[in-house]
Structure 1
């Protein structure tokens, strides 16, 4: 170990000392036991081996809510982007996620509003594997507006954090968790990002780890795509125009034989962002339009018109007490 590495470890111990209390970790473990949170450590079958590439900066353990096998079940891609996403960005994120999971590729993201949320929604709607990486403890989902979505992510995949239960998310933790997204996946794709978007930080980690990196181009007049356009000036960044481009970022041995350059998205990826949001809120228990509007973040009028389209498509049914999923 070099002198610099010893200094880093010494400095880190000093930073951690105020938080390294027996009471704090007993409380965290009790909370984890209550919620069914699994502690995954290096050497476990579920441990994402890509995290080992972080060296001294690799997490000591992962607190996982859901099925931990999704962390290392197969090839995966990080789909990241701006919280203040446009309709274009959300549509692209949904199409990419749906097509990728149809090829057996897991979709990882950060659980945030905008691109992250749409990537998770589309993966769930297509019955695919999805993993959300949190900046705080998995006992308190953040953002709170995504509590129901992240609950569904845990049901269909996993929600994880390197921070113990009871840890509040903070600005630096969001930047810190980005390295996990880049390291534990086979490639990172920035779907939509402004000039100073946090998604560019994830892209930076992917580049530092020599992971394949792609970016989706947007309208040249859109500030929401300025970060992507800046990335695309770099020779090692691939221009992403569809799921086939993302598959090409992965190792050739990981690309499913059914994948081709001319694959076209099918199924739920043809749905609009509003339709995916409403579908995400539908289940076996009937829900009123008002509740669906709150959960989807849409106006009630837009929810009504969207439900009409979904009903015609055979994906939603109206019952006496509200609407349910038709499948």
Structure 2
């Protein structure tokens, strides 16, 4: 058994959040750690459960799963391995299961992550979608976790402009979680990347969500938190970003919004940089061609819009404009409501009409 085979086996046996075992493996080496598990010689740890997983593992089955899921393995010594993951030390993944064409290492070179609350506000969803689209237009690869809310909006924003987005999963790459994002995950796989440190077939579990957050933090050059509660998985991502000394940005929201409490705490405690427009984020991460005083859609106040107007605005794409009839189907509103809202949004400068197709105004 070589080192990569041992790491593949360990990825089937050890949970990502098992820090004690990760430290032990880093200390003695993958091959020696497997022998220690077999013999029940793990310090300060019962080995029965791990031994059962060890006996259940089959290299033949693992290889067959790769073909079934159209998946490839990226090992630590692979040219495709993103070296920034090594900043995690003993907490770095054993191996990555990857679906998608882009090279993982190259995709991570000019990347940032956009994360936030599942139960987000229309404002938060708009900022995540709009900023992701605009940053993707600038050549940035956007990384997120595929969850409902801010994560999904970030991925959708990139896809709307034909960019590359990376989804780091808390389950196997063949598991559609959440179920509502089955189509979104398929679209990401078509042009971007699905990544997991858990084997195919692994279900989503709470601890796996917390563990995958460290990968999101380590893969990207910086992280933007759009909305977050006072205690949430998003704040755990922020903590990993701080530990790695990477830039962390937080988007402010209404002081009355529970979804923005976490962002305001990060800013007040000096853990995150206040971000009020996407240009600030790109410039801070090295995009020198941008100036921070450019007017942009997302910096315009949307709080004055009615719920109907916000709903229509959220449905308008940045590229490849849509007719009012399609927006009616997307929003579930009547055609009259859509047309009235479009008129207001055009006057306010949020959108424009070209050949009866509506799209967002670029910065």
Fold agreement, TM-score > 0.5: yes
TM-score of the pair, normalised by structure 2: 0.72
User: Rg: which structure is higher?
Assistant: 2
1: CA distance, partners of 2:263 / 2:336: 31
**Is 2:259 the counterpart of 1:224?**
yes
Residue among 66, 74, 82 paired with 1:32? 66
2:199 alignment counterpart: 164
Residue among 201, 224, 227 paired with 1:192? 227
**Is 2:338 the counterpart of 1:305?**
yes
Matched residue of 2:273: which SS?
strand
Shift of 1:84: 0.5
- Larger relative CO (CA 8 A, sep 6+): 1 or 2? 1
1: CA distance, partners of 2:152 / 2:23: 37
The answer as to whether partners of 2:115 and 2:226 remain within 8 angstroms in 1 is yes
1: CA distance, partners of 2:160 / 2:336: 17
TM-score of the pair, normalised by structure 1: 0.79
Q: CA, structure 1 residues 210+230, in 2 after alignment: closer, same or farther (shift >3 Å)?
A: same
Summarize deviations over 1:142-199 as a string: whole Å, max 9, x none. 1010011111111121011000101111010000000000011011111001122210
Summarize deviations over 1:54-104 as a string: whole Å, max 9, x none. 111100111111124155333111100000010110111122112211221
Residues paired across the two proteins, number: 301
2: CA distance, partners of 1:219 / 1:50: 35
Q: CA, structure 1 residues 159+32, in 2 after alignment: closer, same or farther (shift >3 Å)?
A: same
1:260 alignment counterpart: 291
Q: Superposition RMSD on alpha carbons, in Å?
A: 3.6
The answer as to whether partners of 1:111 and 1:132 remain within 8 angstroms in 2 is yes
Residue among 67, 73, 86 paired with 1:52? 86
The answer as to whether partners of 1:31 and 1:139 remain within 8 angstroms in 2 is no
**Is 2:156 the counterpart of 1:121?**
yes
1:320 alignment counterpart: none
1:240 alignment counterpart: 275
Q: CA, structure 1 residues 289+103, in 2 after alignment: closer, same or farther (shift >3 Å)?
A: closer
Structure 2: unaligned runs, 5 residues or longer? 1-21, 27-32, 34-41, 303-308, 343-350, 359-363
1: CA distance, partners of 2:183 / 2:142: 18
Shift of 1:111: 0.3
Shift of 1:6: 3.7
1: CA distance, partners of 2:131 / 2:316: 19
**Is 2:124 the counterpart of 1:94?**
no
Q: CA, structure 1 residues 312+103, in 2 after alignment: closer, same or farther (shift >3 Å)?
A: closer
Q: CA, structure 1 residues 137+314, in 2 after alignment: closer, same or farther (shift >3 Å)?
A: farther
Alignment of 1:273-312 (within 5 A): 299=332, 301=334, 305=338
Alignment of 1:309-320 (within 5 A): 313=354
Summarize deviations over 1:247-270 as a string: whole Å, max 9, x none. 2442xxxx2342221234479x99
1: CA distance, partners of 2:229 / 2:90: 31
Q: CA, structure 1 residues 172+70, in 2 after alignment: closer, same or farther (shift >3 Å)?
A: same
Shift of 1:278: 7.3
2: CA distance, partners of 1:303 / 1:66: 42
**Is 2:53 the counterpart of 1:19?**
yes
